[in-house]
Amino acid sequence: MDKKPLDNGQNRAAQGEAGLHTNFKENMTYGEYLHLDKLLTAQDGLTDHHDEPLFIMIHQVSELWMKLILHELRAAIKNIENDDLQPAFKQLARVSKIQTQIIQGWDVLSTLTPAEYMEFRSSLGNASGFQSYQYRMIEFALGYKTKHVLKIYEKDEELLNTLTDAFHQPGLYDVAIRKLARAGLPIDEEILLRDVSAPYEPNASVLEAWKTVYRDVDQYWELYQLAEKLVDIEDWLQQWRFRHMKTVERIIGFKTGTGGSSGVHYLKRVLDQYFFPELWTLRTEI
């Protein structure tokens, strides 16, 4: 007796769609639009270990999300510079939602046990997430600049040039502070004219400006919204860093990272870094 394929309801529904397109000899398909031939064959591991695809795909998905974060941050920075805050709010809110997705990725990776990871970890050589250039560009876009990290990318001149250019561009916090000044709030000139490639240092005039915004929300409603969007992004980024640190500790303990970093010790230190320091200080002072 011939066996018929199970009908799960979807088949019946599709058969009832008279206008359903099934001939793609001359038309673009879903797979072609998404370049699935490239995307789904980019998980070539270095071993035959069952869990290596998990390790690769979690990091690849994170890189795709980071690409979208950068797309949204660049647009938001441009809109803030042009005093067009409403679209920037939407873009920054989307960044926060993307961050939640990346955080959940660590929950999946944490199903990898120490015994399993040790079976293929040595094949990674010195490759490490520490070298993620998109993560560095996100740090640059948020205003955290450390010049020594550029040395990591000297192997690829084109990439190094891209990173160097991003390194010298104003970050999200720089354009937010300039927006405070354009709104009539007094900001020290040294901050408005500062070298944006240098690490940002907290400034009393910036703190007072944000405190004014929070004390008179009605008058500075858009600036208040902007501030809270920035806090959302930093909050989620710190949660991402924390989940990263705990996942690493869970899988390799306090071993040195494959890229040569101190591993968990390094990841714990970066939890103390602030991107928008005055927005956190004012919570104690208002």
Q: Residues marked as binding for substrate?
A: 117, 121, 258
Reading the block at residue 12, the tokens are 């019946």
Q: How far apart are CA 52 and CA 120, in angstroms?
A: 7
Known binding-site residues equal 117, 121, 244, 258
Are 98 and 65 within 8 A, CB to CB?
Answer: yes
Q: What is the 3-state secondary structure (H, E, C) of the chain?
A: CCCCCCCCCHHHHHHCCCCCCCCCCCCCCHHHHCCHHHHCCCCCCCCCCCCHHHHHHHHHHHHHHHHHHHHHHHHHHHHHHCCCHHHHHHHHHHHHHHHHHHHHHHHHHCCCCHHHHHCCHHHHCCCCHHHCHHHHHHHHHHCCCCHHHHHHHCCCHHHHHHHHHHHCCCCHHHHHHHHHHHCCCCCCHHHHCCCCCCCCCCCHHHHHHHHHHHHCCCCCHHHHHHHHHHHHHHHHHHHHHHHHHHHHHHHHCCCCCCCCCCCHHHHHHHCCCCCCHHHHHHHHHC
Cβ-based burial of 239 (10 A; exposed 0-12, middle 13-18, buried ≥19): middle
Known binding-site residues for heme equal 244
